[in-house]
Amino acid sequence: MTTATRQAEPEPAASAARVFPTGFTWGTATAAYQIEGAATLDGRTPSIWDTYSHTPGKVRNGDTGDVACDHYHRWREDVALMADLGVGAYRFSLSWPRIQPTGRGPAVQKGLDFYRRLVDELLEKGIQPVATLYHWDLPQELEDAGGWPERRTADRFAEYATLAADALGDRVQTWTTLNEPWCSAFLGYGSGVHAPGRTDQVAALRAAHHLNLAHGKAVQALRAALPSDARTSITLNVHHVRPLTDSAADRDAARRIDAVANRVFTGPLLHGEYPADLLRDTAHLTDWSFVRDGDAALAKQPLDFLGVNYYSPTLVSAASEEASHNSDGHGKSAYSPWPGADQVAFHQPPGATTAMGWAVDPSGMYDLLLRLHTDFPDLPLIITENGAAFDDYVDPSGEVRDPDRISYLHGHLTAVHRAIEAGVDVRGYFLWSLLDNFEWGYGYSKRFGAVYVDYPTGKRTPKASAGWYSEVARTGTIPVTDPTAG
Ligand code: FCB
């Protein structure tokens, strides 16, 4: 090929790239109960997820987290996988019942040692640890004492935060209090498709409030125990709620879901008060007298960033004949996870879906980031989870080819990049997940990993998407066009 011909060609692929800002954090994420296993080792006692998964009929195939990915023993190999990926950060969660088995009293040294070793190995490989205090594994003893619907659980959580910060604060700089409190409150106590499996709408609202309170108290505890340059945050699965039509009834349906999915948390956490429309929508259920003076203000603590988990948008309308109130892709239940919004119907957004049945719609990511920026202009954002499950398998040549995941990631990272271009302060992106793992009520049937896990042997095989994401993390760049297209 002559030079002249080459000049006549369209732009080479390398220049047709989206370049992320310098310093943008590229990471992967996991959660303790989903990967660790070793459920009864070294003093760990059952969490609500141990109890729930061991209850017949709760989790698909009767799967439990007893062994999971055996990360408790294979952590060194898993950190090496991350180093191979070239990611700069790892978001993981601490298992509360491994550190403080009964949810009260002193910490168990062996539990702390596990996380200290893990963090040291990460730091050694140049990977920044991002610790989440609570990714849904409440010590069962605290549930037996009333769980999140009870106020004292918030006090226990703040004590646990102090233990964790005292033990790890010298080496973990970035902390998240809660992961997706919406799921803890409304799936755990409302629809019952998550542990502890209760189905009581008032208990769900009480749980939401005590999670907000727990967050506020934990941020205070963390700040008291951590060096001044530590960063604290919370991760919300902010729902991007769209009305089916522009009718007043459909817009009101979207408002109701936005209130009980999002503003029940962002109200107190970021504005220091509960939204008036949420209190109205739920007035037939409770007078909210469990909220004491000063609680919402206490929940509002300075945050260094907001963690955002996004997978798919939520499409709603006013209910017609039969309301599919319990939809939204979190599992079927006769009970609603949406107090105050029973007359809302959920719809499947158009287009392709993942193995979860969740719509693939990167525009939801873009719109959500723009909305968060409008609502909270001074708050930096980090995508703490995004990813997709597909029916992956190891092919005869030993490879796992997952073009659908690459396409999903490309689409969503393009949306993140466009949001940054539009002025949204997004600082990082964590791919869910490093490994295939225990996907809660779906057990091991859904694979979200960049790395395939063969559960009988524990063998890890990086998927094609791991190679793709590794290139992205190393270069901070994605191609403009979908690399799997055409
Ligand atoms: C989120 C959870 C995470 C994982 C993904 C698929 O809601 O935080 O643990 O289950 O969904």
- The count of residues in the chain is 486
pLDDT tens-digit readout, 428-470: 999 999 999 999 999 999 999 999 999 999 999 999 999 999 9
**Closest to 237 measured CA to CA, from 166, 278, 181:** 181
Cis-peptide, bond into residue 129, ω within 30° of zero = no
Residues annotated catalytic, as ranges: 180, 385
Q: Is the Cβ–Cβ distance between 276 and 192 less than 8 Å?
A: no
pLDDT tops 80 at residue 6:
no
Does residue 46 have a pLDDT over 70?
yes
pLDDT of 486 higher than 80:
no
Pocket test for ligand 1, best of 180, 239, 312 (most atoms within 8 A of CB): 180
Question: 7 pLDDT band (50/70/90 cuts)?
Answer: very low
pLDDT for 332 equals 76
Report yes or no: 323 and 345 within 8 Å, Cβ to Cβ: yes
Instruction: Give the β-pairing of 459-462 and 128-134.
Output: unpaired
Q: Using the atom order of ligand 1, give the atom closest to the CA of residue 179.
A: 8
pTM, to two decimals:
0.95
12, pLDDT greater than 50: no
Q: Which residue has the tokens 């997820």?
A: 49
Instruction: Give per-residue pLDDT as tens, 74-122.
Output: 999 999 999 999 999 999 999 999 999 999 999 999 999 999 999 999 9
Q: What amino acid is encoded at 413 in this protein?
A: L
With cut-offs at 50, 70 and 90, classify the pLDDT of residue 320. confident
Residue 104's Cα: distance from chain center in Å?
Answer: 26
Nearest CA residue ID for atom 4, ligand 1: 439
Atom 10 in ligand 1: residue holding the nearest Cα: 439
- The answer to whether the peptide bond before residue 433 is cis (omega within 30 degrees of 0) is yes
- C-alpha 387 – ligand 1 centre gap (Å): 9
- Written as one letter, the residue type at 351 is G
> In this predicted structure, what is the pLDDT of residue 301?
98
Q: For all residues of the chain together, what is the average pLDDT?
A: 95
Per-residue pLDDT of 223-254, as tens digits, reads 999 999 999 999 999 999 999 999 999 999 99
Q: What is the 3-state secondary structure (H, E, C) of the chain?
A: CCHHHHHHCCCCHHHCEEECCCCCEEEEECCHHHHCCCCCHHHCCCEHHHHHHCCCCCCHHHCCCCCCCCHHHHHHHHHHHHHHHCCCEEEEECCHHHHCCCCCCCCCHHHHHHHHHHHHHHHHCCCEEEEEEECCCCEHHHHHCCCCCCCHHHHHHHHHHHHHHHHHCCCCCEEEEEECHHHHHHHHHHHCCCCCCCCCHHHHHHHHHHHHHHHHHHHHHHHHHCCCCCEEEEEECCCCEEECCCCHHHHHHHHHHHHHHHHHHHHHHHHCCCCHHHHHHCCCCCCCCCCCCCHHHHHCCCCCEEEEECCCCEEEEECCCCCCCCCCCCCCCCCCCCCCCCCEEEECCCCCECCCCCECCHHHHHHHHHHHHHHCCCCCEEEEEECCCCCCCCCCCCCCCCHHHHHHHHHHHHHHHHHHHCCCCEEEEEEECCECCCCHHHHHHCCCCCEEEECCCCEEEECHHHHHHHHHHHHCEEECCCCCCC
Question: Cα(443) to centroid of ligand 1, in Å?
Answer: 12
Percent of the chain, pLDDT > 90?
Answer: 93
So what's the pLDDT on residue 342? 84
**Do residues 274 and 296 lie in contact, with contact meaning Cβ atoms separated by under 8 Å?**
yes
Tell me the domain boundaries of the chain.
Answer: 17-479
What is the rounded average pLDDT of the residues 292-318?
98
Measure Cα distances from 214 to 153, 206, 209, 352 in Å: 8, 12, 9, 38
| pLDDT tens digits for range 382-435 | 999 999 999 999 999 999 999 999 999 999 999 999 999 999 999 999 999 999
Question: Cβ < 6 Å from ligand 1: which residues?
Answer: 31, 34, 179-180, 183, 237, 309, 385, 432, 439-440, 448
Given this model, what pLDDT does residue 195 score? 98
As assigned by CATH, the class of the 17-479 domain is alpha beta
Residue to probe by mutation, ligand 1, list 186, 430, 439, 446, most atoms within 8 Å of CB = 439
Q: Separation of 312 CA from ligand 1 center, angstroms?
A: 12
**The pair of three-digit structure tokens given for residue 319, joined into one six-digit string:** 């209910």
Q: pLDDT above 70 covers what percent of the chain? A: 95
Q: pLDDT by residue (tens digit) across 49-59?
A: 999 999 999 99
pLDDT per position as a tens digit, 114-143: 999 999 999 999 999 999 999 999 999 999
Is residue 371 predicted with pLDDT exceeding 60? yes
8-12, 181-185, 477-481: which range is least confident on average? 8-12
Amino acid at 192: G
Nearest to 63 by CA among 436, 354, 461, 449: 436
CA-to-CA separations, 394 to 403, 404, 414, 435, 452, in angstroms, rounded: 14, 15, 28, 14, 8
